[in-house]
């Protein structure tokens, strides 16, 4: 009691925001301004005089204002105390108004706690004081004064009552005290569940038996989860019995909450052990609703879910699912109704049923097949490509006649830019079917084709099922673009192998996607694949497709495409009129031959666009200078170098003179064009070695070796040696060169040209420069057919060749692919063996006169 008597009746006020300090409790307060200066001066004075008395402050909570809102302003630092205009002390609070009209009033609670300053820290940079205060006793505010610009309160203290002074013979107080001791022990044991620091729990346990119940009530009231108003009630309550009752009530409430939480958690854990904690959120929500009795409060939400499920059921019924799909859909829909919408599995099942409902199980688009219209559409979109057009029209005709032909798997193979992809679009346009393009270039995961299994997070259908869902019909046209560039083997499976089922007409009627896990019919889908080469397509996959080769466009075809399609298109896209740009055929042909040697027409279109842009600039300049009448719309050959720069390629022209050991061959380039191939041979004293130059591949090197072997074996018959036992090249080295050494060359088609070159070299008889040849030779002298006849013959015609020697079995290619105008200007000689080649080629002697061959052609039995 003596300690309490030393607390002064007039104390400096420290207001607190949303915080209540109770006796025996320690708190931290940060202040600045005049209050901080006053405390600093007071503490310095105490230390200077060497007094041991403590510094006490009045810690008062801010109460609610007239609007019922708790004041949140920094009233302890910002309130202007430069004179108080009015102080109103009411039963439940104190209202203080400043003379400064710019500062709002503050409202303090009418009770507070006298606190002893136990520690102070000063922040030099911000002039803030951090005070550590320990509550001593309650007080009631009697009057507020203004002293040294600090609020000073005159108070009446209510010291804490020792246990020896508790009322005797009051049974209610005794029962309340016993209940308090019992609850406090139980509460301390449960405090760990409230995430209260262990150090605080340890301190409370130590002081429980030593401290009076009133002090323990204050300490527990500061720890229990209570509202701000409940703490204010605790502060203003003087009667110890009432305080103990309130703390008992709060502890009972807190213990009940802990018990419910533990019960909920226990129920959840028991269920999670069975389902691997999959339904944690749902079980927790259900347990909470069960404890609160709110089971039926979600009727509105449940009604919304029922409406959503009803709509999903309607969509599934409208989709007319297959038998297998209907069984799975019904099972999953029943399962969905049992799941809570907040669960993860609910969204997984719902997404799956959405995919099933969106797939075209029975919906087909009507084929509007008009063969005449389809033919016109193909002709309008593509020039040339007769083989591909013919096969497409055949398919459409059979479908129109029969109606239910199984769709073939067509694979267009050809160099880039020849119209493979656009052919698929033209088919879709001519038939009125839905069109979907799937790019397979770089696909390396089998799941991209067959989908992911639903056990994975973020699983989705594969590209095939996704395309069917997007088109919405079961008979679309699928373009499998760049199928030759699909990754065959990887760590993620073999997507090329996954395509086997998709592209097999006998199996794709029951295609099963991993995500869908239901057989889906793909037999009505028209699959069109495109590839640049069949070499990288696996043999089983290639076997399932009907390959249609699309060769590169010839120069004449490019000329027609440029004149008819590309030039008008670029003129329109650049905003000019048709009569503002004029390019003659000879100019277009020079662009094709000297600037854009490619298989397709993409570079040709870009080059024509450059010319049109050049004319746009010219027209704009002249128009701005009012000289539009000087504009010349005609592009001359001489203008190309100024517009496009120096030509990239030289025109191929045959040499003018006949030289022994020089023969003109024919070649086919990877760009889809043909060309003449000069072959030169020279001999010199040596040891019988054969040297080959000109960037050659292994196949063409083998052809040269075969040619030399054949010539050496038949040297006596060819009158090149005087005896059958003499080795023609025993003391001679032979060098064969293919000009344009920077261009790679390979293939067997130069066989007869190499043999003719060697015979010409050793016999001294030359081949006319206007004679060209192509064909493969065997070791016994047979001539085998080769490819690229159309391109080779057209290039020979452009180069001025007048006689072409071809394998006999290539006769059909000339009949079907070569225009009649070229057939009339070139003499075609078809040969079955090398003797016929030599007879047709070596007819000029060293003086340039036509002579008969000096040898007699043996019968086939002698050299085959």
pLDDT attached to residue 484: 87
The string of pLDDT tens digits covering residues 645-676 is 888 877 666 666 788 999 999 988 755 567 88
pLDDT attached to residue 519: 92
Say which residue, 860 or 7, is predicted with more confidence: 7
pLDDT attached to residue 803: 93
Give the DSSP letter of residue 55.
P
Give the DSSP letter of residue 177.
H
Q: Which of 50-64, 351-365, 569-583, 727-741 has the lowest mean pLDDT?
A: 50-64
CA atoms within 13 A on the CB side of 510: 4
| Active-site option among 599, 792, 795, 803 | 792
pLDDT attached to residue 811: 94
The string of pLDDT tens digits covering residues 102-113 is 445 678 888 999
CA–CA dist 65, 94 (Å, integer):
10
Contacts of 701 (CB under 8 A, 6+ apart): 692
> Residue 498: is its pLDDT beyond 70?
yes
Annotated binding site for ATP: 414-421
The sheet carrying 84-89 orders its strands as 84-89, 93-98, 106-109
Residue 92: pLDDT band by 50, 70, 90 thresholds?
low
Residue 778: pLDDT band by 50, 70, 90 thresholds?
very high
Closest CA to 717 of 835, 613, 855: 855
> Residue 76: is its pLDDT beyond 50?
no
The string of pLDDT tens digits covering residues 149-183 is 778 889 999 888 776 667 777 788 888 888 888 88
pLDDT attached to residue 51: 60
Residue pair 604/593 in contact by the 8 Å Cβ criterion: no
Task: Kindly report the length of the chain.
Answer: 864
- Consecutive H or E run containing 468: helix 463-471
Structure tokens at 368: 């509007």
Q: What are phi and psi of 797, to 5 degrees?
A: -65, -40
Residue 820: pLDDT band by 50, 70, 90 thresholds?
confident
Q: Is 749 a catalytic residue?
A: yes
CA angle 781, 787, 791 (to 5 degrees): 125
Residue 721: pLDDT band by 50, 70, 90 thresholds?
confident
Which value, in Å, is the radius of gyration of the alpha carbons in the chain?
A: 50
pLDDT attached to residue 195: 64
CA–CA dist 202, 426 (Å, integer):
84
- pTM, to two decimals: 0.56
CA–CA dist 626, 639 (Å, integer):
23
Q: Is 101 a catalytic residue?
A: no
Residue pair 671/598 in contact by the 8 Å Cβ criterion: yes
| Active-site option among 749, 760, 763, 766 | 749
Q: Stretch 42-54: mean pLDDT, rounded?
A: 71
pLDDT attached to residue 797: 84
Burial class (CB in 10 A: 0-12, 13-18, 19+), 322: middle
Residue 775's CB is within 10 A of a number of other CB atoms, namely 28
The string of pLDDT tens digits covering residues 371-420 is 888 888 888 888 878 878 888 888 888 877 876 656 678 888 888 888 88
> Residue 336: is its pLDDT beyond 80?
yes
The string of pLDDT tens digits covering residues 246-256 is 999 998 998 88
Q: Which of 459-473, 533-547, 684-698 has the lowest mean pLDDT?
A: 533-547
Calculate the average pLDDT of the chain. Answer: 81
pLDDT attached to residue 397: 85
Burial class (CB in 10 A: 0-12, 13-18, 19+), 419: buried
Structure tokens at 747: 């293939």
Q: Which of 125-139, 267-281, 289-303, 709-723 has the lowest mean pLDDT?
A: 289-303
Residue 520: pLDDT band by 50, 70, 90 thresholds?
very high
Residue 442: pLDDT band by 50, 70, 90 thresholds?
confident
Q: Which of 49-58, 264-273, 373-382, 606-615 has the lowest mean pLDDT?
A: 264-273
CA–CA dist 661, 678 (Å, integer):
11
> Residue 66: is its pLDDT beyond 70?
no
The string of pLDDT tens digits covering residues 271-290 is 555 555 555 665 666 677 66
CA atoms within 13 A on the CB side of 144: 30
CA angle 108, 113, 119 (to 5 degrees): 115
Paired with 807 in beta bridges are 831
Q: Which of 34-48, 82-96, 605-619 has the lowest mean pLDDT?
A: 82-96
CA–CA dist 620, 634 (Å, integer):
16
Q: Stretch 766-774: mean pLDDT, rounded?
A: 91
Tell me the helix, strand and coil percentages in the chain, rounded to 5.
45, 20, 35
Say which residue, 849 or 146, is predicted with more confidence: 146
pLDDT attached to residue 69: 40
Give the DSSP letter of residue 15.
E
Q: Which of 281-285, 543-547, 802-806 has the lowest mean pLDDT?
A: 281-285
Say which residue, 490 or 714, is predicted with more confidence: 714
Give the DSSP letter of residue 490.
B
Q: How many helices (H) and strands (E) does the chain have?
A: 31, 27
Q: By percentage, how much of the chain surpasses pLDDT 70?
A: 83
pLDDT attached to residue 268: 67
Residue 96: pLDDT band by 50, 70, 90 thresholds?
low
CA angle 487, 492, 493 (to 5 degrees): 70
Annotated binding site: 414-421
Contacts of 782 (CB under 8 A, 6+ apart): 832, 833, 834, 864
3-state secondary structure of 447: helix
CA–CA dist 551, 813 (Å, integer):
13
Residue 2: pLDDT band by 50, 70, 90 thresholds?
very low
Q: Which residue has the tokens 């006020």?
A: 13
């Amino acid at each position: 009691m003596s300690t309490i008597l030393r607390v002064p009746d007039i104390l400096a006020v420290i207001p607190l925001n949303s915080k209540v300090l109770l006796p025996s409790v320690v708190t931290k307060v940060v202040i600045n301004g005049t209050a901080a200066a006053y405390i600093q001066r007071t503490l310095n004075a105490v230390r200077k005089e060497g007094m041991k008395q403590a510094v006490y402050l009045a810690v008062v909570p801010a109460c609610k204002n007239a609007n019922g809102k708790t004041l949140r302003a920094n009233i302890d630092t910002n309130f202007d105390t430069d004179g108080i205009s009015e102080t109103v002390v009411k039963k439940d609070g104190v209202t203080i108004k400043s003379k400064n009209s710019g500062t709002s009033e503050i409202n303090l609670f009418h009770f507070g706690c006298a606190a002893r300053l136990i520690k102070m820290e000063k922040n030099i940079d911000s002039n803030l004081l951090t005070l550590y205060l320990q509550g001593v006793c309650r007080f009631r505010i009697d009057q507020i004064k203004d002293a040294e610009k600090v609020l000073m309160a005159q108070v009446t203290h209510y010291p804490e009552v020792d246990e020896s002074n508790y009322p005797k013979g009051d049974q209610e107080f005794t029962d309340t005290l016993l209940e308090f001791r019992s609850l406090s022990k139980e509460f301390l044991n449960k405090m760990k569940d409230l995430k209260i620091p262990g150090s605080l729990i340890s301190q409370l346990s130590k002081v429980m038996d030593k401290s009076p119940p009133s002090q323990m009530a204050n300490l527990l009231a500061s720890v229990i989860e209570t509202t701000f108003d409940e703490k204010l009630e605790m502060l203003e309550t003087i009667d110890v019995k009432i305080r103990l009752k309130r703390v008992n009530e709060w502890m009972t409430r807190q213990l009940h909450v802990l018990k419910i939480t533990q019960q909920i958690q226990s129920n959840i854990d028991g269920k999670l052990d069975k389902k691997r904690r999959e339904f944690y959120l749902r079980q927790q929500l259900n347990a909470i609703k069960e404890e609160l009795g709110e089971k039926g409060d979600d009727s509105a939400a449940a009604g919304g879910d029922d409406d959503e499920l009803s709509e999903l059921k309607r969509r599934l019924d409208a989709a007319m699912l297959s038998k297998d799909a209907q069984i799975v859909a019904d099972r999953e829909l029943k399962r969905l109704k049992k799941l809570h919408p907040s669960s993860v599995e609910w969204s997984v099942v719902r997404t799956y049923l959405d995919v099933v409902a969106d797939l075209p199980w029975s919906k087909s688009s009507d084929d509007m097949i008009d063969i005449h219209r389809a033919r016109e559409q193909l002709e309008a979109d593509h020039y040339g490509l007769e083989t591909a057009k013919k096969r497409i029209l055949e398919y459409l005709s059979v479908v129109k006649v029969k109606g239910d032909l199984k769709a073939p798997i067509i694979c267009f193979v050809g160099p880039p830019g020849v119209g493979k992809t656009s052919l698929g679009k033209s088919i879709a346009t001519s038939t009125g079917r839905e069109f979907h393009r799937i790019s397979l270039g770089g696909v390396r995961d089998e799941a991209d084709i067959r989908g992911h299994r639903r056990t994975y997070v973020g699983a989705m259908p594969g590209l095939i099922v996704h395309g069917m869902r997007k088109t919405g019909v079961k008979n679309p046209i699928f373009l499998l673009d760049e199928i030759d560039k699909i990754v065959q083997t990887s760590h993620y499976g073999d997507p090329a192998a996954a395509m086997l089922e998709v592209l097999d007409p006998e199996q794709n009627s029951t295609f099963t996607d991993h995500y869908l896990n239901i057989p889906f019919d793909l037999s009505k889908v028209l699959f069109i694949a495109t590839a640049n080469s069949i070499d990288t397509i696996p043999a089983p996959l290639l076997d399932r497709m009907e390959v249609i080769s699309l060769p590169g466009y010839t120069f004449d075809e490019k000329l027609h495409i440029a004149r008819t399609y590309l030039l008008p298109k670029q003129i329109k896209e650049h905003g000019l009129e048709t009569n503002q740009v004029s390019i003659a055929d000879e100019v277009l042909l020079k662009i094709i031959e000297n600037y854009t040697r490619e298989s397709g027409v993409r570079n040709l279109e870009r080059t024509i666009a450059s010319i049109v842009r050049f004319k746009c600039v010219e027209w704009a300049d002249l128009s701005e200078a009012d000289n539009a009448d000087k504009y010349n719309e005609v592009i001359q050959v001489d203008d190309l170098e100024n517009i496009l720069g120096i030509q990239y390629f030289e025109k191929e022209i045959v040499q003018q003179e006949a030289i022994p050991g020089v023969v003109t061959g024919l070649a086919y380039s990877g760009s889809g064009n043909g060309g003449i191939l000069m072959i030169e041979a020279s001999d010199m004293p040596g040891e019988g070695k054969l040297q080959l130059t000109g960037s050659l591949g292994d196949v063409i090197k083998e052809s040269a070796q075969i040619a030399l072997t054949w010539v050496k074996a038949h040297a006596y018959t060819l009158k090149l040696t005087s005896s059958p036992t003499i080795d023609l090249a025993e003391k001679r080295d032979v060098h064969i060169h293919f000009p344009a050494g920077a261009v790679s060359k390979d293939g067997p088609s130069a066989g007869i040209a190499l043999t003719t070159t060697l015979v010409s070299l050793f016999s001294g008889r030359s081949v006319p420069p206007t004679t060209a040849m192509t064909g493969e030779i065997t070791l016994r002298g047979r001539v085998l057919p080769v490819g690229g006849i159309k391109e080779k013959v057209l290039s020979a015609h452009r180069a001025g060749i007048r006689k072409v020697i071809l394998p006999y079995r290539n006769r059909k290619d000339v009949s079907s692919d070569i225009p009649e105008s070229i057939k009339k200007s070139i003499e075609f000689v078809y040969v079955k063996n090398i003797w016929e080649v030599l007879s047709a080629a070596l007819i000029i002697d060293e003086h340039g006169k036509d002579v008969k061959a000096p040898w007699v052609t043996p019968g086939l039995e002698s050299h085959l």
